[in-house]
Amino acid sequence: MSTVSLTALRAALEGAIPSEIATCDALGVPNVSVISDVHYVDAEHVAISYQFFSKTRANILANPHATVLLKHPNTCAQYRLQLTYLRTELAGPLFETMRAKLAGIASHEGMSGIFHLLGADIYHVNGAEIVRGDLLPLPPPHAPLLAALRQTLPKLRAARDLDGLVAVLLAALRSEFRLPHVMLLVADDSCDRLYTVASQGYPESGVGAEILPGQGVIGVAARERTPIRITHATRDYLYGRAIRDALRASPMAAQLETEIPLPGLPDSGSQIAVPILDGQHLLGIIYAESPEAGRFGYDEEDALMILAAEAAAAMRQISTEADDTFAAADDLATTTESGTPMLVRHYPADDSVFIDDEYVIKGVAGAILWFLLSEHDRTGRVEFSNKELRLSPKIRLPEFSENLEARLILLRRRLAERSQVLALDKAGRGRFRLNLSRPVQLIEA
């Protein structure tokens, strides 16, 4: 029989077709069981899900050697792995990745109430061999991923501001990576939540929608700083209902009307969330989903991780090169305002802002909008600078990692969606202009 590298077998480790594991007890009595998940760890290790104390589990603890038979889901090829048990992980990135994957498999098989991951058993792969070669040809790839990276990475490096970087990412994910349903989320300063700054492929953009660490695919990827990929989507990792149920059970229940719903496919077949990391510091998440089951494999995960690493480097460079030219005190550029005043109401408790009784934004982005409108009301000014916002005590930006550019992108896109009479436009590097077509009446609630 021919040997093969474990890396070449990753498609057979997706769990689309169950595998079999053979073990022996301390006396050498064999046992063969079906297992739901063999997970690729690296070129020399795999992990097998531990869901309940079975005969296989008892055998492994007594005799750490096992043989696993894998099947390729596309070609029907079969492979045999010779394994040695090393340890069990009960928490952490690998455990969470396997738990998400297992939940998808369980949902697909109608076993959601039975499959619960207790641990990830780590095995060393002593050898891998081909039992039966390919019987069917491989399907063509969804996208040429190396070519997609080659086309996209120089454009990321050329981006001069975060707005441009977001535009490049969205365009590349759609045209080069052929992912029509995508969201980009940015982490809050303390990484205690993420908020959506852009999306594509949904009826509603969801700009401003928030996710907490641990919620769904995105939240788990953010908390564990690891990619999370589900080949068969499960209700356990869907968003809108779960988030609103959690809010209803919290002191924030009265504020549900101010929550922006996260976009998403009603029948998501597969999902992937990849963290954008600067070291271990979370900058954001790239999320994609598809109505097609099994749409995202290890190759897509690898490519998106490279893309996320380059995005993190570009974000770091943009932050270093930010132009903080201060707005001149006598800059009194004007804007055309006429008609009935629009009523803008501000709630200091969470800096939420309503325009004509419609919720627009909250948090730091809400504080920025209120500051700009207040300054315009007081002085008539419409042009401002990033540095001015950073120095203002009224906005209460944190001293480090305030992510101001992401807040401005969020605010600009949210205004573009929700207001026909108020906009935030670029006016040069590090500068922007407030555009109003109606006068403003401000109310501090």
Tens digit of each residue's pLDDT (9 = 90 or more) over 301-326: 999 999 999 999 999 888 776 544 44
Helix ranges, 190-342 (H):
216-224, 240-248, 298-321
Query: Which helix (H) or strand (E) segment is 358 a member of?
Result: strand 358-361
Q: Between β-strands 342-347 and 440-444, what pairing exists: parallel, antiparallel or unpaired?
A: parallel
Query: What letter would DSSP give residue 183?
Result: E
pLDDT of the residue at 244? 46
Rounded CA-CA distance 411/406 in Å is: 9
Q: HSE (CB half, 13 Å, CA atoms) of 418? A: 22
pLDDT of the residue at 290? 93
pLDDT of the residue at 280? 85
pLDDT of the residue at 264? 84
Neighbouring residues of 127: CB distance < 8 A, sequence distance ≥ 6:
3, 81, 82
Q: What is the pLDDT of residues 222-275, one digit of tens each?
A: 888 999 888 776 655 554 444 445 445 555 444 444 467 788 888 888 899 999
Cβ burial of 377 (10 Å; 0-12, 13-18, 19+) is middle
pLDDT of the residue at 147? 95
Rounded CA-CA distance 30/228 in Å is: 35
Q: CB of 221 within 8 A of CB of 274? A: yes
> 11: helix, coil or strand?
helix
How many Å is the maximal CA-CA distance in the chain? 90
> 2: helix, coil or strand?
coil
Q: CB of 132 within 8 A of CB of 78? A: yes
Rounded CA-CA distance 355/359 in Å is: 7
Residues in the chain, pLDDT under 70 = 1, 53, 103-115, 233-259, 321-336, 398-402
Torsion sign over Cα 323, 327, 331, 334: positive
Within 57-118, strands assigned E span: 65-71, 78-89
Amino acid (one-letter) located at 155: K
How far is C-alpha 326 from the geometric centre of its chain's CA atoms? 34
Nearest Cα residue to 164 out of 278, 312, 318: 318
Q: HSE (CB half, 13 Å, CA atoms) of 201? A: 21
Amino acid (one-letter) located at 187: A
Backbone angles phi, psi at 378, to 5 degrees: -80, -40
Neighbouring residues of 14: CB distance < 8 A, sequence distance ≥ 6:
73, 231, 294, 297, 298
Q: With a threshold of 0.75, does the pTM exceed it?
A: yes
